[in-house]
Amino acid sequence: MSYASLMVDVGAERSYPIEIFVGNLDQIGDDFGVIPSARNALIVTNTVVEGYYLSALKKGIGKNFQRIFHISLDDGEAAKNWNSLNKIYDVLLQNECDRNTVIFALGGGVVGDMAGFAAATFMRGIPFVQVPTTLLAQVDSSVGGKTAINHPLGKNMIGAFYQPKAVICNLETLSTLPSRELSAGLAEVIKYGPIFDMDFMQWLETSVEQVLAKDMKSLAFAVHRSCEIKAAVVGRDERETGLRAILNFGHTFGHAIEAGMGYGVWLHGEGVAAGMVMAAELSRRLGMVDEAFVQRLKSLIERAGLPVRGPVLDASDNAGRYLELMRIDKKSEAGEIRFVLIDGPGKAVVRGAPDALVREVIDACCA
C-alpha cells in the first residue's frame, strides 16, 4: 500500500515521516505506526472535503483516541483568517480539550496552514498531523512546518514555524480534486525544477499531460520528488534564514496578485505560475538566464493549464500597485523588495532589483 516513506530531518526530537501511498484513509491507523495516540483528536477540515474524506479519517484514527471531534471551516482562501482560526479554538475549548489532544489537518493548504497555526498556539502548542488532499498540499504546504493566516494587507503575515508529527499523503484523494485545483498544485511542482533540479523539470516536460490526466504513477513520482526536494531544503534551513527562501520562487509577484485581486479570486498556484514567469523575466533582464529559458518555463506553465500573464491590479498605475503590495513581503528588508531569481537553470538566488526594471517587467508581463 505504501508507495514511499521519507523523513523530514529537523533534528532528533522533531523529525517526522511523510507517508505517500494510494489507498484508503480508513486504514491508516493499522497501516502506519506514525499516528500519535492521545485522549482527544480534533479533525480540522472544510465544508467541501468533509463530504469526501471525514468519515474515513475518523475510522482510520479511531483506535488511537477516546474522543474525536471535527470542525468544518468555510471553503477557500478568503476564509484563511482570524475568524476561522477562532472557530478552531472555540471547538477545542468547548469540548474541554487539554494538551492531550492531537489536531489533524484534513484538506488543502488553506486548512493545513490554519490547523497548523491553531496547533502551534493552542495551549502554547499541541501535536498535529497533516493529511493533505490537494496536489498543492501534498507537494508543498503540508511539509516543512510553515503555518499561517492571511491579513487583509498581506498573505500569510500572521503565523509560526511549527512542524507536524507526520504527513499522511494519500494520492487517492486526488481523484476528486477539480482540474483547476490540480493545475494550481502543479505550479508548486514546476517551481522545484528551475530552483533546484532541472532533471525534474525535464521529466515534467515529458509527463505533464499524464499528471493532468491523474495517471497514478506520474502523480506518485511528482509528489515523491517534490517532497524529497522540499525535505532536503527544509532540513538545511528550517526557519528560512537563507536557502529556504528559494522555495518562494514566483511567490513575491504571486502573493501581490492574490492580495491585489482579493483572496480567492486567483488561486495561490495561479498567482505563483504568473509570478514565476515574471521572476524569470526579471532574471533575464538582469542577465542571469537567457530568453530560451524563459520561453521553456512559460511553455511548461501553459501546458499545465496555468496563466503566464499577471492580471492588471490597477488600471492607472499597475506596476505601482504591484510594487506597493510586494513591499509587504516577509523577504523584504527595510522596505526593499527581494526576489527569488534564477541564476542559471537549476539555481536560485534571493536579491533585490531596481524598481524601474521591475516596473518594466510588470508592464511586459501583465494582461
**Coil, strand or helix: which one is 349?**
strand
Q: Which of 191, 255, 298, 338 is catalytic?
A: 255
- Stretch touching ligand GLY by CB under 6 A, among 99-107, 126-134, 240-248, 267-275: 240-248
Minimum distance from residue 248 beta carbon to ligand GLY (Å)? 6
* Nearest to ligand GLY of 6, 319 (CB atom): 6
Active site residue 151: no
* Nearest to ligand GLY of 58, 191 (CB atom): 191
- x/- mask, ligand NAD, residues 76-95, rule CB under 6 A, reads xx--x---------------
Active site residue 268: yes
Active site residue 298: no
Comparing CA positions, the residue from 38, 71, 37 lying closest to residue 54 is: 71
Q: Where are the alpha helices (DSSP H) in the chain?
A: 28-31, 49-60, 82-94, 109-121, 135-136, 179-196, 198-212, 216-236, 251-261, 268-285, 291-303, 318-327, 355-365
Active site residue 248: yes
**Residue entry with cell 527562501:** 245
Active site residue 70: no
Q: Which does 268 bind (CB under 5 to 8 A by kind): ligand GLY, ligand NAD, none?
A: ligand NAD
Q: What span, in angstroms and rounded, lies between the C-alpha atoms of 318 and 262?
A: 15
Q: Does residue 49 belong to the site contacting ligand NAD (CB under 6 A)? A: yes
User: Does residue 96 contact residue 30 with C-beta atoms inside 8 Å?
Assistant: no
Residues 121-180 that bind ligand NAD (CB under 6 A): 133-134, 136-137, 140-141, 144, 146, 156, 173, 176-177
- Stretch touching ligand GLY by CB under 6 A, among 32-40, 244-252, 277-285, 328-336: 244-252
Query: Which residues on adjacent β-strands are paired with residue 20?
Result: 4, 169
Burial of 237-261, coded b for 16+ CB within 10 Å and e otherwise, reads ebebeeebbbbbbbbbbbbbbbbbb
* Out of 114, 168, 247, 273, the residue judged to bind ligand GLY by CB under 6 A: 247
Q: Which of 251, 296, 298, 338 is catalytic?
A: 251
Residue nearest ligand GLY, Cβ-based: 247
Q: Which does 224 bind (CB under 5 to 8 A by kind): ligand GLY, ligand NAD, none?
A: none
Minimum distance from residue 272 beta carbon to ligand NAD (Å)? 8
Amino acid at 254: G
- Stretch touching ligand GLY by CB under 6 A, among 34-42, 127-135, 139-147, 170-178: 139-147
**Coil, strand or helix: which one is 41?**
strand
The helices-and-strands tally (H runs, E runs) of the chain is: 13, 11
Q: Does residue 144 belong to the site contacting ligand GLY (CB under 6 A)? A: yes
Query: Which residues on adjacent β-strands are paired with residue 38?
Result: 65
Q: Which of 230, 284, 298, 338 is catalytic?
A: 230
Q: What span, in angstroms and rounded, lies between the C-alpha atoms of 156 and 48?
A: 22
Q: Does residue 244 belong to the site contacting ligand GLY (CB under 6 A)? A: yes
**Rounded to the nearest 5°, which phi and psi values hold at 251?**
-80, -25
Active-site residue set: 124, 146, 188, 230, 240, 244, 248, 251, 255, 268
Q: Can you give the binding site for ligand GLY, defined by CB under 6 A?
A: 140, 144, 146, 244, 247-248
